[in-house]
A and B are shown apart, each in its own frame.
Chain A
């Protein structure tokens, strides 16, 4: 039931854009995105509820296609501070019984 993320790893130069995908085998109620730096706890980026919404947070935005059971995270004009491992997290129902993190995407931004 763990969502699958792609790509597994990506290296960007400052200012470049990236897209991280999250795909689930089950219908989703919500999708969460987190960034985790080495040795630290995951930091919340955004949450999307079913309904095909798209949200933005500064230069980071995300979309949620509930029919395809997929979500994508868009990072534009990347900065060095964007480096880290990105995880999607999924809830399959409104009862919130379980929350699954994706397989993770390592993002490295270089000068």
Chain B
């Protein structure tokens, strides 16, 4: 079975631009969550979606938004990019919204210049 897949794997954007990151969960998993990992730090929770509804939001500005589609795939959008948004963005999926294993994708490396 395919694991969590993310695209693109690497991208470079200019300050002020917008970016969309995509994630396909493991087949049968209905929960998708997003994390930001800045170099040298641990992952920080951004969003969790379950059954296409937002179930949790971390301490990130409104420039960050996400959605989940009927096939449970998800997109993370970041507007008005700042240099500080440069990070590894991790997507994770799980079969329910709590209490079970969270599987991570390989991440999307975003560099803002």
Shortest Cβ gap from A55 to chain B (Å): 12
Q: Is B28 interfacial (CB-CB < 8 Å)?
A: no
Query: Which interface class (under 10, 10 to 19, 20 to 34, 35 or more) fits A?
Result: 20 to 34
Given contacts A41-B90, A41-B105, A42-B104, contact A95 B43 (CB under 8 A): no
Partner-binding segment picked from A13-21, A65-73, A74-82, A100-108: A100-108
Determine the chain A residues whose CB is within 8 A of the CB of B16 once the complex forms.
Answer: none
Query: Which interface class (under 10, 10 to 19, 20 to 34, 35 or more) fits B?
Result: 20 to 34
Q: Is A63 interfacial (CB-CB < 8 Å)?
A: no
Tell me whether B99 and A98 are in contact (CB under 8 A): no
Tell me whether B99 and A101 are in contact (CB under 8 A): no
Write the B92-103 contact mask toward A (1 if CB under 8 angstroms, else 0): 000011111111
A42 to B37, CA, bound (A): 11
Q: Look across to chain A and name the residue whose beta carbon is closest to the beta carbon of B41.
A: A104
Chain B interface residues toward A at CB < 8 A = 31, 33, 35, 41-45, 48, 50, 55-58, 90, 96-107
Chain A interface residues toward B at CB < 8 A = 2, 29-30, 32, 34, 40-44, 47, 49, 85, 87, 89, 91, 93-104
